[in-house]
Structure 1
Amino acid sequence: MSDALSRTMEIRKHVVETDRGVVASQHRQAAEAGAEVLRAGGDAVDAAVACAFVCGVLEPWMSGPAGGGAAMHWRADTGEAHALNFGMQAPAKLRVEDFPLSGEGAASDLFPWERVVEDRNIFGAKAVAVPAMVDGLEAAHKRWGKLPWGELLAPAIAHARRGMGIDWYASLIIAGAARDLARDADAAAMFLDEGQWPRAFSWTNAAEDRIDQGRMADSLDILAREGAAALHGGDLGAAMAADIQGKGGYLTREDLAANRAQFHAPLAVPYRDAQLYAMPGLTAGPTMASAFAHLAAQDLGSVDAAYPAYAKALRAAYAERISSMGDDGESPGAPGCTTHFSVVDRDGNMVSNTQTLLSIFGARMVSESTGLLMNNGIMWFDPEQGKPNSLGAGKRCLMNVCPMLGQADGKRFALGASGGRKIVSAVTQLASFIVDFDMDLPAAFHQPRLDLSGGDQILADAALAPGVIAKLEQIAPVSEVFRSLLPYPFACPAGVLDTGAKRSGATEIMSAWGDAVAEPAGA
């Protein structure tokens, strides 16, 4: 797939450093919105709310109010970490018998489950799980926010009123999903040209070609005025549920009222002289904790010598995940539909937030009344019965998200990534780079990585030394790949680091839209 790519091209990103706050996001304009909130005196939580909603407007295929996720919060005043789960769950009226196996082998999207007739667990209204992203953001804001909720949604509303512009990156993303988007009239009307062809980008029309997000703007305005209650039990949620039921799905107003965000004690992960914190429960947090438990028993030596240890630790951790959590794997080449951002404010408060629709463009359908792309969270479940993660009414989804916090040698950091099962490999290695090798963010984010999410195969950055590759081949078959702009062979991380005197932020070097933005000076 990457045979034609240049072997001499080198891409590097500037890593922002400041004595104020920083927002590192998969979308630059979302990071800018968060940084402006910090300038206005907002807490890291306030910046996270603004950033999250702008991401949902400007990367609507990655996340949005009709999705879910999880976040880790660090409160500098109390020295405590908090885990906040706003994951999705199956609707109460879901009927397992509506998802018969087709007998045609593996499914066509992220997970190699047995294929369901008409891919009903992937596309369309029956694939929609109950979202909770808005409630998750509001729960954190109610607890720690400083600025009014409505003000924090204003940047997202403004972007939606204007409409998301189509540049080359957006055009490629839409083109890759055009056939699936054409299945739903409302999705086709929003993202396709005359309902058939992907919106094209050219330098002559880039400024004018925008997606009409007027209905989304109206929905965000309602959320700004009424809060999460509008979606979780209110009229906005009722309209969304009616749209989904009208297209054959199960989502109800009662489902939305019942699925609310929950705070949990974080999963504390001691590692050498560091303390790490991850999400507990049905996330990738326990898998990350397992990987660090395996790493702790090994002497890593130099960073080049550490890669075989990473491969062994992640391989063992994934095996434990599969056997104990019911996640039977994920197609290693498939794109995930997730976004991550990390925030640190000038007081040292941190947020590590991952939000998702699951697949790219979620269920590939839009709620006509709300203008929101819907998730396809039902695909997280194994359609075969009798498995730990089998599909069932009202069950909570098993997510791959892994937002985390860490502290070591007087510095604190917040990390996370998008990329499905690739996430935990990236987060584990980045945290180790910082803890074990005292790397700053520029060094850590430009350092080559491995991915162990493809079963027995090791996916290795081709920039690694031949000697490292040779040692990895003694563990498992190795596939070398060059980091590319699209598709991403590895996860797309975003992180912030606080040394006390300085704060820095970074995003995946190959992410065309991702950037870290410092809080502007002045009030």
Structure 2
Amino acid sequence: MRILATLALAACCLLAPGHPAAPLRAAEPEGATGREDRPALVAPKTMVVAANPHAVDAGLEMLRAGGSAVDAAVAVQMVLGLVEPQSSGIGGGAFLLHWSQDAKRVRSYDGRETAPAAARATRFLGADGTPLSPRDAIVGGRPVGVPGLLRMLELAHREHGRLPWARLFEPAIRLAEGGFAVSPRLHRLLDRERDLGADAMARQLFYTADDHARPVGERIVNAEYAATLRAIAAGGADVFYRGAIAEDLVRAVRRHPNAGDLTLEDLAAYSALEREPMCGAYRDRRICGMGPPSSGGIGVLQLLGILERSPFAQALPQSAQALHWFAEAGRLVYADRLRYVADPAFVPQPVAGLLEPDYLAARARLLGERSMGRAQAGEPRGAAAMSDAAEYALAGTSHISIVDERGDAVAMTTTIEDGFGSRIMVRGFLLNNQLTDFAFVPEVGGRPVANRVEAGKRPRSSMSPTFVFDSDGSLQIVAGSPGGTAIINYVAKALVAMLDWEMDAQTAVALPNFGSRNGPTEIERGSAYSALIP
């Protein structure tokens, strides 16, 4: 257990992805706000890792009260929605992996947002048939999907919770009513933000009378959020999906100048799902992640599987050759991801074919000493005829990793999509703009795009909550990351650093980011790796 907790600490939260070097595209998680190196920490039994110390404290409070990893995750999330509102919250969605030490079983839960019943494939196309501008697509009611977070947490708590549901909300309610100090990170993000202030509630909460971001250290009291959490704590998730909160949410979406079509019926009909986890082998380890509609589990397993069948193992750690093989493998992974991965309720998923050893070996044979440029999708067994469509890459999200005293664990990646989501605030929380994760065009060359918009569909995600098990079956690593479409690369990088390069968790997380999303090779700006750029 000591090894587990040590590795769980930082491998779980890749919280400091940096700038990709010019001329590479910049898509850091919410925009970089700085880098802070931390020492590795060790705990004998329990550990909570999250993006904010208030959230960590809430999780530890639950564990000390005898709560489970899921109990702690709920408490952590409620606080993150208060102190890190730009990244995640009850107006968004999440994916959660759970490990039961007694049952020796991994279970996975899908709280991804869904498109409203009125959604059509042309949602993000203008009158002339071309994709909307980024601002028209991102800000407002149009990109808001049905939030799934609370239904998912309710489902996971029903299965794995130990403390009463209402108890889990107490730390966030106390902090919302008592106030929290604006962090340097939140201040910088608010200062850069140009659309959030158009929302009256958000402007009053986060900005001064002269429209400047509230300064570092100033206390923010969010009484509306506290009242919302009190209602949910007392009445369960139904309070959110039916009744006054739902009515306010729908009204805000439909009355925005860039209006959406969310309805009360959409909210009432939402269900979180338990899905089969996506598990596979890498060297002598077993790795488990989320299946579709997340591309994270497939992507991480594919990337590692291709590396295992490439010259990567012979390259010196952190060498130009090692980074080259990693980036080239990423091109192949992201090509397959773009073409095939989508909501399995709408599009048959060639999961088995994408992970077959022979297919991975064939893909690995495409790697060479020189870059292949833009990779083409493969033809795995079971794949339908689909077309590629460019995706709009937004970066945001947060990650939570927890191990409780029983050895049970949670890896949960949670998001409202872009930083500050749709920029619509309702009852103290922000709404997602998750529907921008759909492809903006429904077909290309007469063939459908797998990730096209459809009513009730869940958009593809890159969120990659991950468990790694040792050769004896014991849980070794609890991992995950923010970072939009780059999450797959971030998580795979940390796993390679720990499993192949024998780094400790903190060193692996602090390692500069690198890889390719089937575009330019991306290297963290200002890092030692920058010297490798020709």
TM-score by length of 1: 0.79
Shift of 1:168: 2.7
Amino acid at match of 2:140: G
Verify: 1:405 aligned to 2:447, yes or no. Answer: no
Shift of 1:229: 1.3
Identify the residue that residue 157 of structure 1 maps to in structure 2: 173
Verify: 1:70 aligned to 2:95, yes or no. Answer: yes
Match 2:225 to one of 193, 210, 216: 216
Identify the residue that residue 14 of structure 1 maps to in structure 2: 39
Match 2:253 to one of 232, 244, 250: 244
Secondary structure at the aligned position of 1:221 is classed as: helix
* Percent identical: 28
Mapped to 2, the partners of 1:414 and 1:148 lie a distance apart of: 25
Mapped to 2, the partners of 1:97 and 1:317 lie a distance apart of: 27
Secondary structure at the aligned position of 2:265 is classed as: helix
Shift of 1:374: 0.8
Does the 8 A contact of 2:123 with 2:440 survive in 1? no
Verify: 1:278 aligned to 2:289, yes or no. Answer: yes
TM-score by length of 2: 0.77
Identify the residue that residue 79 of structure 1 maps to in structure 2: 104
Match 2:439 to one of 357, 382, 395: 382
Identify the residue that residue 518 of structure 1 maps to in structure 2: none
Secondary structure at the aligned position of 2:262 is classed as: coil
Does the 8 A contact of 1:268 with 1:275 survive in 2? yes
Does the 8 A contact of 1:90 with 1:395 survive in 2? yes
Amino acid at match of 2:487: I
Identify the residue that residue 385 of structure 2 maps to in structure 1: none
Amino acid at match of 2:439: D
Mapped to 1, the partners of 2:497 and 2:108 lie a distance apart of: 23
Match 1:356 to one of 400, 415, 433: 415
Question: CA separation of 1:251/1:464 partners in 2, compared to 1, >3 Å: closer, same or farther?
Answer: same
Does the 8 A contact of 2:280 with 2:301 survive in 1? yes
Verify: 1:290 aligned to 2:347, yes or no. Answer: no
Amino acid at match of 2:329: A
- Greater share of residues in strand: 1
Deviates more, 1:315-324 or 1:160-169: 160-169
Does the 8 A contact of 2:391 with 2:438 survive in 1? no
CA deviation map 1:386-427 (0-9, x unaligned): 232222332211112111111125551110000101111110
Shift of 1:153: 0.7
Identify the residue that residue 372 of structure 1 maps to in structure 2: 429
The equivalences for 1:398-477 within 5 A come to 398-409=460-471, 412-453=476-517, 455-460=519-524, 463-464=527-528, 470=532
Verify: 1:193 aligned to 2:208, yes or no. Answer: yes
Identify the residue that residue 166 of structure 1 maps to in structure 2: 182
Shift of 1:87: 0.1
Mapped to 1, the partners of 2:529 and 2:156 lie a distance apart of: 44
Structure 2, unaligned runs of 5 or more = 1-18, 22-33, 343-387, 444-448
Identify the residue that residue 340 of structure 1 maps to in structure 2: 399
Structure 1, unaligned runs of 5 or more = 4-8, 105-113, 471-477, 480-523
Amino acid at match of 1:229: D
Does the 8 A contact of 1:187 with 1:366 survive in 2? yes
Count the aligned residue pairs. 445
Mapped to 2, the partners of 1:35 and 1:212 lie a distance apart of: 23
Does the 8 A contact of 2:101 with 2:407 survive in 1? yes
CA deviation map 1:240-271 (0-9, x unaligned): 22332333322222211222211111011111
Secondary structure at the aligned position of 1:17 is classed as: coil
Verify: 1:230 aligned to 2:294, yes or no. Answer: no
CA deviation map 1:44-74 (0-9, x unaligned): 1111111111111111111110100101111
Question: CA separation of 1:100/1:437 partners in 2, compared to 1, >3 Å: closer, same or farther?
Answer: closer
Amino acid at match of 1:379: T
Mapped to 2, the partners of 1:331 and 1:118 lie a distance apart of: 8
Mapped to 2, the partners of 1:134 and 1:231 lie a distance apart of: 8
Secondary structure at the aligned position of 1:32 is classed as: helix
Identify the residue that residue 66 of structure 2 maps to in structure 1: 41
Mapped to 2, the partners of 1:381 and 1:55 lie a distance apart of: 26
Mapped to 1, the partners of 2:333 and 2:465 lie a distance apart of: 17
Deviates more, 1:307-316 or 1:337-346: 307-316
